[in-house]
Amino acid sequence: MMASPATPVLSESQLATLRRHGEERSAAAGDVLFKVGDERYPFMAIIEGEAAILDAAGHEIVRHGASGFLGEMNLISGQTVYLTAVVTQPMRYIAVDRDELRGLLFDDGPLSDLLLSTFMARREALQQHEGIGIEIVGPRSSEATRRMVEFVRRNRLPYTWRDSERSEDSAAATPIEGIDAQPLPLVRLPGGRELRNPSGGEVSRGLGIGLELAPREEVDLVVIGGGPAGLGAAVYGASEGLDTLVVEGTALGGQAGTSRRIENYLGFPAGISGSELTTRAVSQARKFNARTATPYRAIALEPGTDRHVVRLEDDHEVAARAVLLATGADYRRLPIAGLEEYEGVSVFYAAGPPEAQRCGATRVGVIGGGNSAAQAAIWLARGGALVTLMHRRADLRETMSDYLIVELERYGVAVRDRSEVAELHGEDGQLEAVTLRDGERLPFSFLFLFLGAAPCTEWLGDVLARDAKGFVITGADAGADGLLETSVPGIYAAGDVRSGSIKRCATAVGEGAMVVRFVHEHLSGVPA
């Protein structure tokens, strides 16, 4: 049995609240309340009795008793069910429909905090448990397989990777042998449905998440990018009556969504994880009827008079009276030959629970001098890895917060100044060592890269003004009236993609919220 996820209990007043929004039911020992692959199930608060939670193989994970409750993040996101719940002692429970529960969470702060924090803790625990969620079958030498693994990682989906080229994974050979010459990877969804070399969108929609867009959508405001700036705009835009659509090409939350801990976000003195901030922001946006569509990649922008058209992959388009560009930036890669062979296998761009589990008791290198690099190094060290942080400056204080420098020392992270990696050594994607530019060779089994990012603006072409590095120019420098307006009226930029922006999560949220005022001013002169 895995380490038990969060198992808090509900108070009598909370049970009373749930009774008003649900119905009381009973179940006999042996009854299945929900099973792997189900499309949905209600929230269940146990009055008396007990239920066991099982994985797809029937192994017990945890039990919940009186005043406990069943469920995890798929109750909020709408994802396919990953687990099975079986009654072990005759039960009476309150069933609350998923849609009814969402509305209740917006009205009851204490209950919302309890359920959301528990659901997120359970999801994080599931990510460390083999055999739950998606099964990806394909060798590490397959670029498409590595790309799919990275997609599910960034979307924080529980998964198991069956890799026939990992000699220590004896369970991988059997599923691989039964696959013919059709394209890899094979992706098995909870419940048994199989997809061959699917796109991220096919997997998302196969899991019941990710809004499926019509060939043409018409909205007041389309937000391209689902990071802090985009989600901030979605919350404020939708709450102020704008028909708002968020289009995201990879995973909601952006780079901030992968952060282990954001310590300096206003209102959270104990810090908040990127995944929790993202979950709360998405729930808040949906409360006001903002729609989120992911993953859809924007490929072209065509300005118009009354409406601008954003063209998406797979022949979709969105016509909007106003457009917000909040595409952020992509991770920078090391300019090293053969890097792609290691990516997704032993070289990563984010450190989550699956990576921390794999890296325990191994030597790990983290490259970068910013706060994200420090947060990852600390997280990995706390998980038992022997971590070395490498950066190319003479002093970390030039780019890193003081409190993180103290934490690096506290958790025994070795720091190497003026260090740049020149070469990777290993076989079949598994890293064994790196060589620095000064010729020194360091043994590492895993490498994490936090090298900053380049703006995701190549798809814009010459449609609007960008600076020499590709960031979108706004305000007076772009000849625009509004601070966040681009060189094209009705098109705005916020967050990391904007030239001159402060690369901070809170600032991005603020810009996303602020842009809504400019959108209202613009729309007052644009026909509905």
Q: Is there a single domain that holds both residue 26 and residue 64?
A: yes
Last residue of a domain, one of 206, 231, 252: 206
Helix (H) or strand (E) holding 445: none
Q: Is there a single domain that holds both residue 147 and residue 227?
A: no
pLDDT bin (cut points 50, 70, 90) of residue 528 is low
Q: Is there a single domain that holds both residue 82 and residue 145?
A: no
Does a structural domain hold residue 276?
Answer: yes
Does a structural domain hold residue 7?
Answer: no
Phi-psi region of 262 (alpha: psi -120 to 50; beta: other; left: phi over 0): beta
Q: Is there a single domain that holds both residue 307 and residue 355?
A: no
Last residue of a domain, one of 451, 473, 498: 451
d(CA 10, CA 46): 9
Q: Is there a single domain that holds both residue 50 and residue 108?
A: yes
Q: Is there a single domain that holds both residue 76 and residue 112?
A: yes
Does a structural domain hold residue 16?
Answer: yes
Does a structural domain hold residue 83?
Answer: yes
Last residue of a domain, one of 82, 97, 126: 126
d(CA 356, CA 372): 15
Is residue 233 pLDDT above 90, yes or no?
yes
Q: Is there a single domain that holds both residue 47 and residue 122?
A: yes
State the average pLDDT over residues 396-400. 89
Q: Is there a single domain that holds both residue 182 and residue 278?
A: no
pLDDT digits (tens, 9 = 90+) for 234-292: 999 999 999 999 999 988 888 777 776 777 788 888 888 888 888 889 888 988 999 99
| CATH number reported for the structural domain that contains residue 116 in this entry | 2.60.120.10
Tokens linked to 135: 């099964």
Query: SS3 of 152, please?
Result: helix
Q: Give the list of residues 6+ apart from residue 430 with CB closer than 8 angstroms, or none.
A: 342, 345, 346, 445
Q: What is the pTM of this model?
A: 0.77
Q: Which pLDDT value is given to residue 453?
A: 74
d(CA 409, CA 443): 21
Q: Which pLDDT value is given to residue 407?
A: 95
Does a structural domain hold residue 280?
Answer: yes
Does a structural domain hold residue 484?
Answer: no
Q: Is there a single domain that holds both residue 301 and residue 343?
A: no
| CATH number reported for the structural domain that contains residue 372 in this entry | 3.50.50.60
Range of the domain at 75: 12-126
| CATH number reported for the structural domain that contains residue 188 in this entry | 3.40.30.10
pLDDT digits (tens, 9 = 90+) for 22-60: 999 999 999 999 999 998 899 999 999 999 999 999 999
Is residue 3 pLDDT above 50, yes or no?
no
Give the bridge partners for 311, in sequence order. Answer: 300, 317
* Local structure of residue 185 (DSSP, 8 states): P
Over its C-alpha atoms, the chain yields an Rg (Å, rounded) of 24
pLDDT digits (tens, 9 = 90+) for 57-81: 999 999 999 999 999 988 888 888 9
Is residue 173 pLDDT above 80, yes or no?
no
**Which is higher by pLDDT, 166 or 187?**
187
Q: Is there a single domain that holds both residue 228 and residue 316?
A: yes
Alpha helix segments (H runs only) across 62-142: 74-77, 98-107, 109-126
Decide: 162 and 175 in contact? Cβ < 8 Å: yes
Q: Please tell me the total count of domains within the chain.
A: 4
Does a structural domain hold residue 510?
Answer: yes
Q: Is there a single domain that holds both residue 148 and residue 118?
A: no
Q: Is there a single domain that holds both residue 182 and residue 233?
A: no
Q: Dump the DSSP string for 326-392.
A: ---EEEP----TTHHHHBTTTEESS--HHHHHHHTTSEEEEE-SSHHHHHHHHHHHHTT-EEEEE-S
State the average pLDDT over residues 362-387. 94
Q: Give the list of residues 6+ apart from residue 24 with CB closer than 8 angstroms, or none.
A: 47, 92, 93, 94, 95
Tokens linked to 204: 């998302």
Does a structural domain hold residue 1?
Answer: no
d(CA 204, CA 134): 11
